[in-house]
Amino acid sequence: MKRIDRFANPNKFMKLAKAITPWAAWSTVGFLAAGLYLGLFDSPADYQQGETVRMMYVHVPSAWMAMFCYVGVAVSSAVGLIWKHPLADLAAKATSPVGAAFCFLALLTGSLWGKPMWGTWWVWDARLTSMLILLFLYLGHMALLNAFDDQTRAMRAASILALVGVINIPIIKWSVDWWNTLHQPASVVKMDGPAIHPDMLWPLLLMAIGFTTFYIWVALLRIRQEIIANKIRAIRLRQVNG
Amino acid sequence: MKRKHRRLSFVALALLALGAAVALVMAAFEENIVFFFSPTEMGQKEVDPTQRLRLGGLVEEGSITKAADGVTVQFVVTDTVNTIPVEFRGILPDLFREGQGVVCEGRLINGVFKADEVLAKHDENYMPPEVAQALKDAEHWKEKMQDSKAE
């Protein structure tokens, strides 16, 4: 615990974040370029879905990241509530808009994919509905963070919402197994191994890594920006009072 | 107990209780969360002909026929145990074909499902057409081998 605590110190964190940011940025560019090239130009069409399958290379990583970011917000919120680490609060605050964007992208690409394949833009099945609830949880979290003048109260309210909403994550994951849905069951993260041909799985995984490094890049930038803003606020206060 | 330990156990307990509550609610509303009923489930239900329902299953091989008017399609939805005949007037999705998963929305009237919407459902398998063809050929080959052994 002691060693992790070291990076919970904002100054040490700033140094580390500054070192990681360019790596995250360049890996994002590299992985997304490789993933998009393979996915759009150098991978086979699907035996059933034809060229439409290429929607998967954006849709699936977006949905994964939407869930991953939410777990990140919930864990940070728990650490912030229980151990009162200021950096955990900042991480939750920095992550939720990014997660919301991924969630919106997953819903949007899913809708664009659903029309040609299923024959509808939207249905109220368990997977689609639970994913829409995830977007509302993100929006609620962001709204609560801005709903109070007192920062600590805002953080507390938002953290509690984030923790309550974490129940939705296993529901999203297993919705396609617990109930029958129009959405297909899991293709990649399943008990008996992926049901995707390796020529399609590779671009998908490259895109997923690229989405993850993108998140790391943006989250670090946002946390750094937040720490600097706090410092400026403190200096201003001192000037006014001094 | 230190304050942070108290907070930790409170958060853990609250999440546990919430999880249990949500699980109970979901179990109670199972009927409403499922997106469609299979032909077997549909057969066991008391169905009101004015009630809108969704029927899901596979399009039975060789069951698709076009009515004389040219726009009404008839096919049979099966869950490999029971079947229900479906009648639909409209545009079918591209993925609609024999052996494919479908979800039909409409009303069950005198044992015939009058659908006003037909959606295609696909499974979790993704592969290039050549691989699908190779698998199909291998399947035929296996059947042939078994047939010749049986003879």
Average pLDDT value for chain A = 92
C-alpha span between A154 and A162 (Å, rounded): 12
Alpha helices (runs of H) in A48-85, residue ranges in sequence order: 56-83
Residue B44, pLDDT score: 86
**Contact B117/A at CB under 8 A:** yes
A126/B33 touch (CB, cutoff 8 Å), yes or no: yes
Does position B43 have pLDDT exceeding 90, yes or no?
no
Domain A23-241: assigned CATH number: 1.20.120
| Residues in chain A closer than 8 A to B36 (CB atoms) | 180, 182
Instruction: Kindly identify which residue of chain B lies nearest to residue A159, measuring between CA atoms.
Output: B11
C-alpha span between A161 and B105 (Å, rounded): 36
Does position B74 have pLDDT exceeding 50, yes or no?
yes
**Contact B104/A at CB under 8 A:** no
Mean pLDDT, residues B116-126: 92
B128/A45 touch (CB, cutoff 8 Å), yes or no: yes
Burial status of residue B81 (CB atoms within 10 A of its CB: 0-12, 13-18, 19 or more): exposed
Confidence of residue B56 (pLDDT cuts 50, 70, 90): very high
Q: Which residues 57-86 in chain B show a CB within 8 A of chain A?
A: none
Does position B20 have pLDDT exceeding 80, yes or no?
yes
Does position B33 have pLDDT exceeding 70, yes or no?
yes
Instruction: Kindly identify which residue of chain A lies nearest to residue B20, measuring between CA atoms.
Output: A167
**Contact B129/A at CB under 8 A:** yes
Mean pLDDT, residues A3-9: 61
Confidence of residue B148 (pLDDT cuts 50, 70, 90): low
- Among residues of chain A, what percentage have pLDDT more than 90? 81
- Residues in CB range of A121: below 8 A, 6 or more apart: A111, A114, A115
Instruction: Kindly identify which residue of chain A lies nearest to residue B100, measuring between CA atoms.
Output: A48
Amino acid at A192: D
**Contact A116/B at CB under 8 A:** yes
C-alpha span between B105 and B119 (Å, rounded): 8
C-alpha span between A114 and B7 (Å, rounded): 44
C-alpha span between A89 and B105 (Å, rounded): 47
Residue B42 CB coordination number (10 Å): 21
Residue A85, pLDDT score: 87
Burial status of residue A114 (CB atoms within 10 A of its CB: 0-12, 13-18, 19 or more): buried
Question: Domain locations in chain A?
Answer: 23-241
Confidence of residue B1 (pLDDT cuts 50, 70, 90): low
Kindly provide the ipTM of the predicted complex, given to two decimals. Answer: 0.85
| Residues in chain B closer than 8 A to A83 (CB atoms) | 4
Residue B5, pLDDT score: 87
Mean pLDDT, residues A59-78: 97
| Residues in chain A closer than 8 A to B123 (CB atoms) | 184-185
Residue B6, pLDDT score: 87
Residue A1, pLDDT score: 46
**Contact B103/A at CB under 8 A:** yes
A179/B92 touch (CB, cutoff 8 Å), yes or no: no
- Among residues of chain B, what percentage have pLDDT more than 70? 92
More confident: A11 or A17:
A17
Task: Report yes or no: B73 and B88 within 8 Å, Cβ to Cβ.
Answer: yes
Nearest to B128 among A47, A179, A186 (CB): A47
